[in-house]
Amino acid sequence: MARVIKTAAWVSVICTALFCAIYRGTQSPFFFSLGITAGTVAYHVIMRLLVGFCYNSALHNKVNYKHPWFRQRSLEPAFYERLRVKSWKSRMPTYDQDRFDPRKHTWEEIAQAMCQSELVHETIAVLSFLPLVASVWFGSFPVFLITSLCSAAFDLIFVIMQRYNRPVVLRLVERQRERENKRN
C-alpha cells in the first residue's frame, strides 16, 4: 500500500504540472479544471505522507495508549455496532501491515502503533479542509468543500477502525502481562 500511495503522489504532481502547462498554452477551462483537480489530489496524497512521516519521526510508535484521549467513550460501542464496523474493517487497506503484526511486535507495541495511527488520521481529517482556502483564488468552493468532506470522512473511517479494535488489543496486552507476571 505504501508504494501505491507514493506512486499516486508522483503521478498527481506530474499531472498537475502537465495540465497547468497545457492550460497556460491553451487557456482551455477544461485543462484549468484538470490542473486544479490534480493539484488537489496531489495535496491530499502528499499531505497524508508528510503527516505520517512527521508523527513517525516524532513518536516512533511509542504513544501512551493509556492516555484519556484514546479511551473508548460509553456511546462508541453502540455507534460502531450501528455502523457495522465488524463487517467491513477487515477489507480496509493498511499503509504498513508490519506495524500491526503480532508475530513481529508485542500487543503493547501494536496498541501504541494503533494510537499513533489514530493521531495521524485525525490530523489528516483536519488538514483535509485546508484546500478550502484555494477556493478564494480559484472559485469552485462547492468542489473544494466536497473533496475536503470526502477526504476527511475517508480518514475518519480509519480512526473508527483503530478505536473499534483497540479494546480487544488492550485485553491482549493485559493477558500478555499476566502471563509474564506468572513466569516471574
The residue among 143 and 23 whose pLDDT is bigger is: 23
Residue 184 has pLDDT above 80, yes or no: no
Give the C-alpha separation, 82 to 37, whole Å: 34
pLDDT confidence band for 143 (50 / 70 / 90): confident
Whole-model pTM: value is 0.88
Cα distance between residue 88 and residue 74, in whole Å: 22
**Predicted confidence (pLDDT) at residue 183 exceeds the cutoff of 90:** no
Query: Residue 181's pLDDT is what?
Result: 85
What's the pLDDT tens digit per position in 38-75? 999 999 999 999 999 999 999 998 999 999 999 999 99
- pLDDT at 105 (0 to 100): 93
pLDDT-derived band at 182 (thresholds 50, 70, 90) equals confident
| Cα–Cα distance for residue pair 151/44, rounded to 1 Å | 8
Span 94-142, pLDDT tens digits: 888 889 999 999 999 999 999 999 999 999 999 999 999 998 988 888 8
pLDDT digits (tens, 9 = 90+) for 19-43: 999 999 999 999 998 998 899 999 9
Which residue, among 141, 156, 144, has the nearest Cα to 40 in the 3D structure?
144
The average pLDDT across 6-14 equals 94
Write out the three cell numbers for 14.
Answer: 506530474
How many Å apart are CA 131 and CA 51, to the nearest integer? 16
Residue with the bigger pLDDT between 10 and 96: it is 10
